[in-house]
Structure 1
Amino acid sequence: MTFEIVLVLLGLVGMVAALILDKMRPGIVLLSLVVLFMVAGIITPKQMVAGFSNRGMITVALLFLVSEGIRQSGALSAVVKKLLPEKGTSVTKAQLRILPIVSAFSAFLNNTPVVVIFAPILKNWSKRVGLSCTKFLIPLSYATILGGLCTLIGTSTNLVVHGMMIDKGMEGLKMFDLAYIGIPITVAGLAFIILTSKKLLPAERPDNFEEEESETAEDTGRHVVEVVLASRFPGLKRKLKTFDFKRRYGAEVKEIRQNGQVITDNLGEVRLQEGDTLVLLADDAFTKTWGDSSVFLMMTNGQEIPTNPVPSWKKWTAFALLIIMIVGATIGELPYFQEHFPNVKMDMFFFAAVTAVVMAWLKMFPPKKYTKYISWDILITIACAFAISAAMEESGLAALIADFIKSVSGSLGAWGALGLLYLVTLLITELITNNAAAALAFPLALETAAKFGVDPMPFFIAICIAASAGFATPIGYQTNLIVQGAGNYKFTDFVKVGLPMDLIVMIISVGLIPLIWPFTPII
């Protein structure tokens, strides 16, 4: 192996280790690696910054704003409340009503706001009707992941692969290309969840703190509130006692749920992490002040979090804009429009940009605060992943791994290589981040297809699915992390349901993808 291959390989191993140890945000980890590759001369400065101007990456940023506009319009909340029966229901019946709708929404919206909106509503509703919220929160997260597999904009991972295809001079993915494989996977996945989650998921674990404090807190005007820490929370990586949460937010931390553990003793020594759920004793002023803050991903207190009333026209306008964006991006790819409007590429980027700007003009989200609704760490991670992908190609590491994949697949040929690439991508997703997994797998997909002399499209579709379908661990996908604390789940709860889900999705994907996108020889 050459010096360049060894350096890139060691850099990737170090990157994975750093992401697993979670000492720094993923964006700065990947940025550090990219700078190292640039200093070593493996990539040029132009290659280093190319990802920051990629249409796929910028489309992700615009869709953050579109999703926020939908969220603040109250349209999703209104829909889910009408779906939830107030009496005479069961876990299975309720899941049948809720989960397909959740998947449908997440096919066109960022998964995180869908979970952030639905989770508190489901948790409060389940208490009212006497059902366990643990039977709904993991299924909620999984339903959003499944829905995201069905469209180009369902998850940022799909847009990353789309952007990389365009960079290579290819046409890229159309809005509903992934639906051919995504819909069968979603149907099978939802069926598995509805049939098995009642037995595989735990009953709601008693929260002694809430029961004890709810009675004594009434006299003081305080009540129990749960918050999930976001990436913008200023106290991440700091001990609770040095951050002084009570002085900053006027609420007292009584319990911390971290990595599946419930911590009630020595709270001051706990280092706060993104995704932690804090159980607080707070007054009404806390929920009014921080209910819509970007420092918390989610907040629930057993009742509706107070928000400013939203005019009904905003709800309908938000839905209308979303539909126009989806339909416009779909028909804009048709040959008729490409022929008659050759100077305007009416793709997803075009309509996402228009929709985001119109939402800002109509104040669907506060235009003066628009930057706080964009997850900059995710964007930096995506942009740097493009550069890391280039380093893998330039060094020859991607070709070397592709040779290994081809030799291991043996008599199974391209089909076996597809399954192996899917498995590798899935493992990276479960360990680190989905966007990084897609970017790292892309050059492997390209080189593997070249080794077999076939169209790379089946391999691209496989990494789209594998990089998004992380069910077996709470760290595999942000929505899993959100519901872990909210539902007081243990790590093993995700394994029990998620590992079979991973296997089901993998079998369907590897079995169907070559039938839908054949291994067409390239002459």
Structure 2
Amino acid sequence: MNFEILFVLLGLAGMLAALIMDKMRPGIVLLSVVVLFMVAGIISPKQMVAGFSNRGMITVALLFLVSEGVRQSGALTTIVKKLFPDKTTTVTKAQLRVLPIVSAFSAFLNNTPVVVIFAPIIKHWSKKVGLSCTKFLIPLSYATILGGLCTLIGTSTNLVIHGMMIDRGFEGLKMFDLAYIGIPITIVGILFIILTSKKLLPAERPDNFEEEEADAAMESGQHIVEVVLASRFPGLKRKLKNFDFKRRYGAEIKEIRQGGQIITENLGEVRLQEGDTLVLLADDAFTRAWGDSSVFLMITNGKDIPTRFVPAWKKWTAFALLLIMIIGATIGELPFTQERFPNVKLDMFFFASVTAVVMAWLKLFPPKKYTKYISWDILITIACAFAISSAMEESGLAALIAEFIKNVSGSLGAWGALALLYFVTLIITELITNNAAAALAFPLALETASKFGVDPMPFFIAICIAASAGFATPIGYQTNLIVQGAGNYKFTDFMKIGIPMDLIVMILSIILIPLIWPFTPTV
């Protein structure tokens, strides 16, 4: 083991430790490691910044704007409200009606806005029909994750792998390549949720906020508001007593739900974290001011869902633009289209760029505030992921680990290596973040395929699925964090249903991937 391998290995170990401790945002952690690798001469300045100009990374940024345009048009909210029956129903019937639609939406939209739209509506509806919202919120998050496995744009991880493939001279993923594996997984996953969630998910835990106090607040013109802290909330990592929430936002915190715990005493000592749910006492001015903010991911007053009037033409236009983007990118991948337009690459990057700009000019989202709708930390994480991948290859660490994977696989060969790579990627994504997991796994996939002398495509598909399918922990995926506080879930609630989900998806993937993408020997 030479100096470069040891240096990169220690750097990555430090990165994983920092991400698990969650002292800083993932973007700055990865950026720090990348700068360290550049200073050590393992990667060049050009390699360090290459990810910031990658088409996959920029496509992710554009899709944030497209998703926001659809969300603010109100089109999705209108459809969602019609999904839920007004009369009494059962958990199974309601899940069977809602979860497939959720997965379909999340296959083409960013998962977070889908959950942000659905979650408050589910909470209000479930209370109205006398069902426990805890039977729906984790399934909601899982359904969005499953849907994201079905298309190139379903999750940022798929676009990261796509961008890395193109950087290495491969063709990249087409819009529906992942559907061959994603759709069977989604069907089986939803069936598992419907059949087991009644037993594996907890009953709704009673609110500590008394009904009498809530009624008294209503009489004084105030009401109960629940907000989920987003990554842009300025008080993250600070104790509440050092952050004057009431002065800044005009609302009083009555309860904090953090990590499955409900905190009502000594609130000043609580250090606020991303994904915390705050139960507030606020008036209508708070909802008007912060109902469409990037500071809070979800707002509901527990009585009704605040909506604003949006012209009907905006709803139809948003959906039409989304369909044109999807159909255009799909047709643009066909050989016939590529022959007719040899000088223009009509891919997802092309159509996402056009769609985002048209939405801005039509003011489907406020063009003066477009930067607030982009998660810059995710983009920095993705851009740095490319540099980390280069460092692993340049140092020889990826080849060393690939040789170890080959030796451990033994008589199982490439199939065993695929299973091992999937498992390692899954563990990393459960502990840290999906894009960082993809960054670490991609060079391993490439080198492992090279060791066996086979096409790397099965390994690329495996890490696409493994890096996105994190069900067992609330930190494995941002949508899990959102619903954790909204549903008063404990960490163990995710493990009870999430570990079986992880195993089901893993087994299906390991069986199906080599059948769809065989281990074809390379020439």
- TM-score by structure 1 length? 0.99
Q: Where do 1:107-122 residues align within 5 Å?
A: 107-122=107-122
* Map of 2:388 onto structure 1: 388
Shift of 1:211: 2.2
Shift of 1:219: 2.4
Partner amino acid, structure 1, of 2:428: I
Shift of 1:439: 1.3
2:255 partner SS: strand
* Map of 2:137 onto structure 1: 137
Partner amino acid, structure 2, of 1:421: L
Partner amino acid, structure 1, of 2:270: V
* Map of 2:419 onto structure 1: 419
Structure 1 runs of 4+ with >2 Å offset:
303-308
After superposition, what is the alpha-carbon deviation per residue over 1:437-471, rounded to whole angstroms, capped at 9, x for unaligned?
Answer: 01110000000000000000000000000000000
Q: Where do 1:91-102 residues align within 5 Å?
A: 91-102=91-102
Asked if the contact 1:224/1:280 (under 8 Å) is kept, the reply is yes
Quote the Cα distance in structure 2 between the aligned partners of 1:337 and 1:437: 35
- TM-score by structure 2 length? 0.99
Partner amino acid, structure 2, of 1:272: L
Quote the Cα distance in structure 2 between the aligned partners of 1:130 and 1:304: 15
Q: Where do 1:60-139 residues align within 5 Å?
A: 60-139=60-139
Shift of 1:306: 3.3
Quote the Cα distance in structure 2 between the aligned partners of 1:268 and 1:236: 14
* Map of 2:13 onto structure 1: 13
Shift of 1:14: 0.5
Quote the Cα distance in structure 1 between the aligned partners of 2:218 and 2:111: 36
Q: Where do 1:241-252 residues align within 5 Å?
A: 241-252=241-252
Partner amino acid, structure 2, of 1:15: M
Q: How many positions carry a matched residue from both structures?
A: 523
Shift of 1:143: 0.1
* Map of 1:226 onto structure 2: 226
Shift of 1:98: 0.3
Unaligned runs of 5+ in 2: none
> Is 1:362 the counterpart of 2:359 in the alignment?
no
Shift of 1:340: 1.2
1:176 partner SS: coil
2:294 partner SS: coil
Quote the Cα distance in structure 1 between the aligned partners of 2:465 and 2:440: 14
Shift of 1:284: 1.1
Shift of 1:288: 1.1
Quote the Cα distance in structure 1 between the aligned partners of 2:422 and 2:251: 46
RMSD value over aligned CA atoms? 0.7
> Is 1:56 the counterpart of 2:56 in the alignment?
yes
2:209 partner SS: helix
After superposition, what is the alpha-carbon deviation per residue over 1:197-252, rounded to whole angstroms, capped at 9, x for unaligned?
Answer: 01110010000314242122122111111100001111111110110101111111
Asked if the contact 1:288/1:305 (under 8 Å) is kept, the reply is no
2:471 partner SS: coil
* Map of 2:209 onto structure 1: 209
* Map of 2:258 onto structure 1: 258
**Greater alpha carbon shift after TM alignment, 446-455 vs 259-268:** 259-268
After superposition, what is the alpha-carbon deviation per residue over 1:79-104, rounded to whole angstroms, capped at 9, x for unaligned?
Answer: 11111001131000000000000000
After superposition, what is the alpha-carbon deviation per residue over 1:293-349, rounded to whole angstroms, capped at 9, x for unaligned?
Answer: 110011111134434310111111111111100000001011111111111000000
Partner amino acid, structure 1, of 2:123: K
Quote the Cα distance in structure 1 between the aligned partners of 2:174 and 2:303: 41
Partner amino acid, structure 2, of 1:196: T
> Is 1:288 the counterpart of 2:322 in the alignment?
no
Quote the Cα distance in structure 2 between the aligned partners of 1:183 and 1:119: 24
Partner amino acid, structure 2, of 1:437: A
Asked if the contact 1:287/1:305 (under 8 Å) is kept, the reply is no
Unaligned runs of 5+ in 1: none
Asked if the contact 1:398/1:443 (under 8 Å) is kept, the reply is yes
Shift of 1:260: 1.0
Asked if the contact 2:260/2:488 (under 8 Å) is kept, the reply is yes
Asked if the contact 1:141/1:480 (under 8 Å) is kept, the reply is yes
Partner amino acid, structure 2, of 1:144: T
> Is 1:521 the counterpart of 2:521 in the alignment?
yes
1:24 partner SS: coil
Quote the Cα distance in structure 2 between the aligned partners of 1:156 and 1:22: 21
Asked if the contact 1:426/1:466 (under 8 Å) is kept, the reply is yes
* Map of 2:329 onto structure 1: 329
Shift of 1:265: 1.0
> Is 1:158 the counterpart of 2:196 in the alignment?
no
Asked if the contact 1:62/1:352 (under 8 Å) is kept, the reply is yes
Quote the Cα distance in structure 1 between the aligned partners of 2:398 and 2:156: 23
* Map of 2:466 onto structure 1: 466
**Greater alpha carbon shift after TM alignment, 209-218 vs 151-160:** 209-218
Q: Where do 1:274-285 residues align within 5 Å?
A: 274-285=274-285
After superposition, what is the alpha-carbon deviation per residue over 1:53-112, rounded to whole angstroms, capped at 9, x for unaligned?
Answer: 000000000000000000001111111111100113100000000000000000000000
Asked if the contact 1:213/1:224 (under 8 Å) is kept, the reply is no
1:257 partner SS: strand
Asked if the contact 2:388/2:440 (under 8 Å) is kept, the reply is yes
After superposition, what is the alpha-carbon deviation per residue over 1:265-290, rounded to whole angstroms, capped at 9, x for unaligned?
Answer: 11001111111000111111111111
**Greater alpha carbon shift after TM alignment, 117-126 vs 202-211:** 202-211
Quote the Cα distance in structure 2 between the aligned partners of 1:439 and 1:37: 15
Asked if the contact 1:63/1:110 (under 8 Å) is kept, the reply is yes
**What fraction of aligned residue pairs are identical, expressed as a percent?**
86
After superposition, what is the alpha-carbon deviation per residue over 1:368-391, rounded to whole angstroms, capped at 9, x for unaligned?
Answer: 100000000000000001100000
After superposition, what is the alpha-carbon deviation per residue over 1:165-206, rounded to whole angstroms, capped at 9, x for unaligned?
Answer: 000111000000000000000000000000000111001000
Quote the Cα distance in structure 1 between the aligned partners of 2:175 and 2:325: 11
Asked if the contact 2:161/2:438 (under 8 Å) is kept, the reply is yes
Asked if the contact 2:121/2:305 (under 8 Å) is kept, the reply is no
* Map of 1:351 onto structure 2: 351
After superposition, what is the alpha-carbon deviation per residue over 1:34-55, rounded to whole angstroms, capped at 9, x for unaligned?
Answer: 0000000000000000000000
Quote the Cα distance in structure 2 between the aligned partners of 1:22 and 1:212: 38
1:331 partner SS: helix
Partner amino acid, structure 1, of 2:202: P
> Is 1:188 the counterpart of 2:193 in the alignment?
no
* Map of 1:239 onto structure 2: 239
Cα gap change, 1:340 to 1:107, in 2 (>3 Å): same
After superposition, what is the alpha-carbon deviation per residue over 1:365-424, rounded to whole angstroms, capped at 9, x for unaligned?
Answer: 000100000000000000001100000000000000000000000000000000000000
Quote the Cα distance in structure 2 between the aligned partners of 1:218 and 1:75: 30
Asked if the contact 2:56/2:163 (under 8 Å) is kept, the reply is yes
**Greater alpha carbon shift after TM alignment, 432-441 vs 469-478:** 432-441
1:209 partner SS: coil
Quote the Cα distance in structure 2 between the aligned partners of 1:373 and 1:18: 26
